[in-house]
A and B are shown apart, each in its own frame.
Chain A
Amino acid sequence: MTSISFTHVAKNFGKVQVIRDVDLDIAPGEFCVFLGPSGCGKSTLLRMIAGLEAASAGEIRIDGRLVNHVPPAERQVAMVFQNYALYPHMTVYENMAFGLKQTKVPKPEIKARVAEAARILQIEALMDRMPKALSGGQRQRVAIGRAIVRQPKVFLFDEPLSNLDAALRVHMRSEIASLHRKFPSASFVYVTHDQMEAMALADKIVLLHTGRTAQERGSIAQVGSPLDLYYRPKNRFVAGFLGSPTMNFLSATLVAADATGATVELTGGERITFPVDARSLEIGAQLTLGIRPEHLAPASDATAQTIVRPVEMIEHFGEFSFVYLTSGESMPLIAKVQGETAMPPDQRFRLGVPAASCHLFGPDDLALPRIAGA
């Protein structure tokens, strides 16, 4: 049983293809986040669910019903826009009631539904105000209220928090999460370019990539739970998109591969072994080793796998520090080290490389498979 399904969906604007070959199922009650850089088509994908854009190819179904040709108002979806899109000439009450009036819902029921939504969002005191008399957060609530009264099967959010300041954004994020708990049977589809928002809210993240890669491999880079994407990125784009600072990528040459793992040699001559199956590649192949800054830890000489590099600089945050090391690549190697870290006397830093946290990407930028049980 799925709530929303995409089958081979594509979207062209003139000659430009922004969405290519999307297959996706979103379950009832699931919180699904479309994440990606700007221009990846995540908003377009959302708007295709709403019916504000037509799919150029493929099928879109809501609750099993083919909706490609169903008008937006009849799709039982509700949408919260990035700039709220409240009708400026209507009061808060009228804004929330408008859609119901247009669908000829009886007046007492409109009143009841609006009152209920206002109660949930705690905006009962604002019902007679005009939108321009509201703060950003209040407008956001009204926009959400307008969605709630429709009792939709699907809530659509198009970057709803990007117009709010940072503190309010975190607060509203938690409100949206609690809203999801209040409507357990409705699916939430949420578009954002902010990975923190995606990680915090999503049951399922759909990470989209853009440009040439999308043309070659379809728009979807990876679908999965937030931790899935964090720990098991399927390709270098996903690995680099999630996490901050971004994952370190180091050039590596394959020196050995067997059923228990692979060994690579870095440009500094260090050999690293970890449980990834690289048997499909020839020895000597040029690969990329990925390791997140937070997985690199200061190490003693005795630690098994370490690399030693000169320190370029250290940024201090109190709780942790970023250590920038010369990597021999275009980007410095960054390690996120817990607590305070002083510059070592010889200005060199030894870091342990935990085998379980290493990712290996082939020449095609796809991640090589992990060996089970490792």
Chain B
Amino acid sequence: MVDISAREAVGDPRPPRRLAEDLAPIVFLAPVVLLLLVFLIYPLMSSFRLSLLSWNGLGEEGKYIGLANWWRLLHDGLFWAAARNNILLAIFSVLIQLPIAVVLAVVLDNLGRGSQLLKILYFLPLLMSSVALGVLFKNFYDPNFGPLNALLEGLGLGNLAQDWLGDTHFSLAAVIAVICWQNIPFYMVLFLAGLASFPAEISEAAILDGASEVTIFWRLKLPHLKGTLRTGALLAIIGSLRYFDLIYVMTGGGPEGASELMATYMYRSVFASFQLGYGSTVASAMFIIVTVIAGISLRLTSRLETEV
């Protein structure tokens, strides 16, 4: 018995507007707008302006050199290698984290009692700061004193022992492993919620139709998770493109740029090489790349959403 309600209509002349009501939006929104202007919009624009300078960050603002930094960026193999690493990180994050997270979600969904405790313990890595995690795993991977190589030797796999972070072949993979270790439980909880929203009646109807648990999972539950999986992939991709902390702490982008990301490269250009102008160019390029890819992924997923 809902009568057509007022607020859904457009352009409804609400009757009694006092001055306070006209001023209210301004007062309520001023702090947010102000803070975002100062700490988000202005820095973004400033970054583009700085990208046109040659400046070591000291003394007077540097010299205007037009698009020279951008020209340099286009031919900077180190930057593109870093961008490539970001994309590798994104791909492997999606391919490793999501499937394992689905498996773990299924495990917890089926275990019943005890699953609550497991979930609590699984979640622990997410509480750690990336610095703490970085220092922990730097020691974990240490070729001489680290427990990983000791463990491999103990298992008779001593020939697999490596200088994990110091070898250009392994450093990126070693850090990706830690990133996955930390983030899998996040996606696990996401998918667990997705599985929990699967209607029990449908499972029951399928059982009456003679479907096995395995069939129910593949034919019914996994399709039900499709939207959640897409959200998860989107988050993993956007997160990977702007990743910084753990790589910086564990390898600093090394050795020889083997684990360099756009963000660590930007950081090193500014704060290690004192190329404030060029570092800002890297930052601005990173902003463009992340925005474009995130925009495309968002558009793609929402388009898929409407198709389904």
B15 contacts A51, CB within 8 Å? yes
Given contacts A14-B9, A14-B10, A14-B11, contact A40 B3 (CB under 8 A): yes
| Residues of chain A with a CB closer than 8 A to B1's CB | 38, 159, 162, 193
B16 contacts A38, CB within 8 Å? no
A13 contacts the other chain (CB 8 A)? yes
Closest chain A residue to B16, Cβ basis: A71
> In the docked arrangement, what's the CA distance between A68 and B15, Å?
7
Contacts A41-B3, A54-B14, A71-B16 aside, 13 further interface pairs with beta carbons under 8 A come to A14-B9, A18-B3, A18-B4, A38-B3, A44-B3, A44-B6, A51-B16, A53-B6, A53-B15, A54-B13, A56-B13, A72-B16, A74-B16
B6 contacts A47, CB within 8 Å? yes
A42 contacts the other chain (CB 8 A)? yes
| Residues of chain B with a CB closer than 8 A to A56's CB | 13
> In the docked arrangement, what's the CA distance between A316 and B298, Å?
63
Closest chain A residue to B10, Cβ basis: A14
A195 contacts the other chain (CB 8 A)? no
Q: How many residues of B contact A (CB 8 A)?
A: 16
> In the docked arrangement, what's the CA distance between A52 and B16, Å?
9
Determine how close the nearest CB of chain B comes to the CB of A354; give it in whole angstroms.
35
A43 contacts the other chain (CB 8 A)? yes
- Contact partner, A42, options B3, B5, B9, B10, Cβ 8 Å: B3
| Residues of chain A with a CB closer than 8 A to B9's CB | 13-14, 16
B29 contacts the other chain (CB 8 A)? no
Given contacts A13-B9, A14-B9, contact A39 B4 (CB under 8 A): yes
> In the docked arrangement, what's the CA distance between A74 and B9, Å?
25
B6 contacts A71, CB within 8 Å? no
B18 contacts the other chain (CB 8 A)? yes
> In the docked arrangement, what's the CA distance between A44 and B12, Å?
13
Determine how close the nearest CB of chain A comes to the CB of B3; give it in whole angstroms.
4
Determine how close the nearest CB of chain A comes to the CB of B147; give it in whole angstroms.
52
| Residues of chain B with a CB closer than 8 A to A162's CB | 1
B16 contacts A70, CB within 8 Å? yes
Given contacts A39-B3, A193-B1, contact A13 B8 (CB under 8 A): yes
Closest chain B residue to A74, Cβ basis: B16
Determine how close the nearest CB of chain B comes to the CB of A21; give it in whole angstroms.
17
> In the docked arrangement, what's the CA distance between A297 and B129, Å?
86
Q: 4 shortest A-B CB distances, which residue pairs?
A: A71-B16, A13-B9, A54-B15, A43-B3
B4 contacts A69, CB within 8 Å? no
B26 contacts the other chain (CB 8 A)? no
B6 contacts A52, CB within 8 Å? yes
**Of B2, B3, B10, B16, which is in contact with the most chain A CB atoms at under 10 Å from its CB?**
B3
Determine how close the nearest CB of chain A comes to the CB of B1; give it in whole angstroms.
5
Closest chain A residue to B21, Cβ basis: A71
A13 contacts B4, CB within 8 Å? yes
| Residues of chain A with a CB closer than 8 A to B2's CB | 38
| Residues of chain B with a CB closer than 8 A to A68's CB | 15
A44 contacts B4, CB within 8 Å? yes
> In the docked arrangement, what's the CA distance between A70 and B10, Å?
22
**Of A13, A47, A70, which is in contact with the most chain B CB atoms at under 10 Å from its CB?**
A13
Determine how close the nearest CB of chain B comes to the CB of A272; give it in whole angstroms.
37
| Residues of chain B with a CB closer than 8 A to A51's CB | 15-16
For window 1-58 of B, CB contacts with A under 8 Å fall at 1-6, 8-16, 18
| Residues of chain B with a CB closer than 8 A to A43's CB | 3, 5
B12 contacts A13, CB within 8 Å? yes
Determine how close the nearest CB of chain A comes to the CB of B256; give it in whole angstroms.
60
> In the docked arrangement, what's the CA distance between A52 and B5, Å?
10
A69 contacts B16, CB within 8 Å? yes
Determine how close the nearest CB of chain B comes to the CB of A274; give it in whole angstroms.
36
| Residues of chain B with a CB closer than 8 A to A18's CB | 3-4
| Residues of chain B with a CB closer than 8 A to A53's CB | 6, 12, 15
> In the docked arrangement, what's the CA distance between A56 and B14, Å?
10
| Residues of chain B with a CB closer than 8 A to A159's CB | 1
Can you list 25 contacts pairing A with B, beta carbon distance less than 8 Å? A13-B4, A13-B6, A13-B8, A13-B9, A14-B9, A14-B10, A14-B11, A39-B4, A40-B3, A43-B5, A47-B6, A51-B16, A53-B12, A54-B12, A54-B13, A54-B14, A55-B15, A56-B13, A68-B15, A69-B15, A70-B15, A70-B16, A71-B18, A72-B16, A74-B16
> In the docked arrangement, what's the CA distance between A51 and B9, Å?
16
Closest chain B residue to A47, Cβ basis: B6
> In the docked arrangement, what's the CA distance between A68 and B11, Å?
17
- Contact partner, A16, options B3, B4, B11, B16, Cβ 8 Å: B4
Determine how close the nearest CB of chain B comes to the CB of A212; give it in whole angstroms.
16
**Of B9, B13, B16, B18, which is in contact with the most chain A CB atoms at under 10 Å from its CB?**
B16
> In the docked arrangement, what's the CA distance between A56 and B9, Å?
13
| Residues of chain A with a CB closer than 8 A to B11's CB | 14
> In the docked arrangement, what's the CA distance between A186 and B12, Å?
30
| Residues of chain B with a CB closer than 8 A to A42's CB | 3
Determine how close the nearest CB of chain A comes to the CB of B17; give it in whole angstroms.
8
| Residues of chain B with a CB closer than 8 A to A14's CB | 9-11
> In the docked arrangement, what's the CA distance between A69 and B9, Å?
19
**Of A52, A74, A159, A193, which is in contact with the most chain B CB atoms at under 10 Å from its CB?**
A52
| Residues of chain B with a CB closer than 8 A to A44's CB | 3-4, 6
> In the docked arrangement, what's the CA distance between A149 and B8, Å?
31
| Residues of chain A with a CB closer than 8 A to B8's CB | 13
Closest chain B residue to A72, Cβ basis: B16
Determine how close the nearest CB of chain B comes to the CB of A160; give it in whole angstroms.
12
| Residues of chain B with a CB closer than 8 A to A16's CB | 4, 9
Determine how close the nearest CB of chain B comes to the CB of A23; give it in whole angstroms.
20
For window 39-84 of A, CB contacts with B under 8 Å fall at 39-44, 47, 51-56, 68-72, 74
Determine how close the nearest CB of chain A comes to the CB of B12; give it in whole angstroms.
7
> In the docked arrangement, what's the CA distance between A159 and B3, Å?
11
Closest chain A residue to B6, Cβ basis: A53
Determine how close the nearest CB of chain B comes to the CB of A73; give it in whole angstroms.
9
> In the docked arrangement, what's the CA distance between A44 and B9, Å?
13
> In the docked arrangement, what's the CA distance between A71 and B13, Å?
13
| Residues of chain A with a CB closer than 8 A to B13's CB | 54, 56
| Residues of chain A with a CB closer than 8 A to B12's CB | 13, 53-54
> In the docked arrangement, what's the CA distance between A74 and B12, Å?
21
